[in-house]
Homo-oligomer: A and B are copies of this chain.
Amino acid sequence: MQQGKQSIRFEHKPRILEAASVTGEKEGQGPLGREFDEIEKDPMFGTENWEAAESALQKRAAERVLAKAGLVRRQIRYLFAGDLLGQLIATSFGTVDLNIPVMGLYGACSTMGEAMGLAAAFIDSGNADYTLALASSHFASAEKQFRFPLEYGNQRPYSATWTVTGCGAVALGKEGGIAAISGMTPGKIVDMGYKDSMNMGAAMAPAAADTILRNLEDFGRTAEDYDRIITGDLGTIGQEILIAFLKNKGQDISDRHMDCGIEIFDAESQDTHAGGSGCGCSAVTFCAHILPKVKSGEWKRILFVPTGALLSSTSFNEGKSIPGIAHAVVVEAL
């Protein structure tokens, strides 16, 4: 490794053994609906409150990825997991029954990138035979945490995104599997002084651009070296900013950029405005929609860049800006 670089090239290319996605009904009705492993029509997931519902999502996704990979819980050395709620409460109660050592992570909606990168790093270094990475969000627990009670029925501007109800989980190992993680680029926090919590795509786009540029520079690549560069939840407005920003820096990604937030919903018929968002957005889109295209060889190499907006209701009420962060992983066909 060279001093000052931000990326890691994984020497042993840890393998993605399997992935699983569990979503809510609205996600199931969207363009990717047929690709999810499990769609639950009960928004409460049979529990008593929204937080417990999100925990149930995590538990189901973790159990499903283990079953798909033919692994049992005690084989998993470490779990890297997170969600959007204060004190990661969905993760605490969602993963306790797995009885696997857990590293709690918070990167807002970039958490799946952080989790996959760390989970791959622990495989690559020989410190684990198998790891799990997962991230979740739930529309109703997020609205309660960050915005208004659902009963209030507030209007949403067109720049707002819709938090995805879903959990994506991947199981990683040393060999076999369906794809490889060949590198990671953990992101810096980028604060451009942006303050509109109803337009988070704009707040996150500079962080996404920063991580993508560092990835290209560190690996000596251009945008053409990736079949797709896929951000988490910039939505339509953030996408425009990202593409313009990178063009200005000499990288045209317009023909290969994809955003999970844009893919997951049909904005017009589903009334989701600028797109989907939440840790679960990029996590389930990766597991259900992106990974199969890498597995099939349709895409040889992609850059997966989940994006996070670092705000809380407290920081928002105190008039603070919304810094962004984006953690990238390089995923390659076998």
Which residues of the other chain, B, contact A118 by a CB distance below 8 angstroms?
A: 103, 118
Q: List 26 A-B contacts (CB under 8 A).
A: A1-B126, A1-B128, A3-B129, A4-B75, A8-B127, A48-B318, A49-B318, A82-B106, A85-B312, A86-B86, A86-B87, A87-B108, A87-B311, A87-B312, A87-B315, A88-B310, A92-B323, A101-B186, A101-B188, A102-B189, A102-B325, A104-B106, A104-B114, A105-B105, A124-B125, A125-B125
A86 proximity list for chain B (CB < 8 A): 85-87, 145, 312-314
Q: Are A186 and B3 in contact (CB under 8 A)?
A: no
Contacts of A127-174 to chain B: CB distance below 8 A: 127-129, 145
Q: Which residues of B contact A3 (CB under 8 A)?
A: 75, 129
Residue of chain B at shortest CB distance from A99: B188
Smallest Cβ distance from A332 to chain B, in angstroms?
A: 19
Most buried by B among A48, A87, A95, A122: A87
Does residue A6 face the partner (Cβ distance < 8 Å to B)? Answer: yes
In the complex, A96 has a CB within 8 A of chain B:
yes
User: Is the C-beta of A107 less than 8 angstroms from some C-beta in chain B?
Assistant: yes
Interface: A68 (CB within 8 A): no
The complex places the Cα of A1 from the Cα of B77 at a distance, in Å, of 10
Which residues of B are found within 8 Å of A187, using beta-carbon distances? 101-102
Instruction: Say how many copies of this protein the assembly contains.
Output: 2
**Which residue of B is nearest A130, CB measured?**
B3
Contacts of A114 in B (CB 8 A): 103-104
Q: Which residue of B lies closest to A101 (CB)?
A: B186
Interface residues of A (CB under 8 A from B): 1, 3-6, 8, 48-49, 51-52, 74-75, 77-78, 82, 84-89, 92-93, 95-96, 99-108, 114, 118, 121-122, 124-129, 145, 185-191, 310-315, 318, 320, 323, 325
Residues of B within 8 A of A51 (CB): 314-315, 318
Taking CB as reference atom, which chain B residue is nearest A144? B314
A104-B105, A106-B104 given as contacts; is B93 within 8 A of A323 (CB)? yes
Top 6 nearest A-B pairs (CB, nearest first) are A86-B86, A125-B125, A87-B312, A92-B310, A101-B186, A104-B106
In the bound complex, residues from chain B placing their C-beta under 8 Å from that of A5 are: 77
Tell me, rounded to whole Å, the shortest Cβ–Cβ distance linking A3 to chain B.
6
Contact A105 B108 (CB under 8 A): no
Contact A95 B318 (CB under 8 A): no
A49, A75, A88: most-surrounded residue (chain B CB, <10 A): A88
Contact of A87 among B8, B189, B310 (CB under 8 A): B310
Interface centre among A86, A315, A323 (most CB of B within 10 A): A86
Docked Cα-Cα span, A268 to B119, in Å, equals 45
Question: Residues of B contacting A74 with CB < 8 Å?
Answer: 4
Nearest chain B CB to A185 CB, angstrom units? 8
Tell whether, in the assembled complex, residue B96 and residue A189 are in contact, meaning their CB atoms are under 8 Å apart. Answer: yes
How far, in whole Å, are A178 and B286 apart by their CA atoms in the complex?
43
Evaluate contact between A314 and B85: CB separation under 8 angstroms.
yes
Q: Point out the residues of chain B lying under 8 angstroms from A8, CB to CB.
A: 127
Residue of B nearest to A320 (CB): B93
Whether the Cβ atoms of B102 and A104 lie closer than 8 Å is no
Which residues of B have CB within 8 Å of A102? 186-189, 325
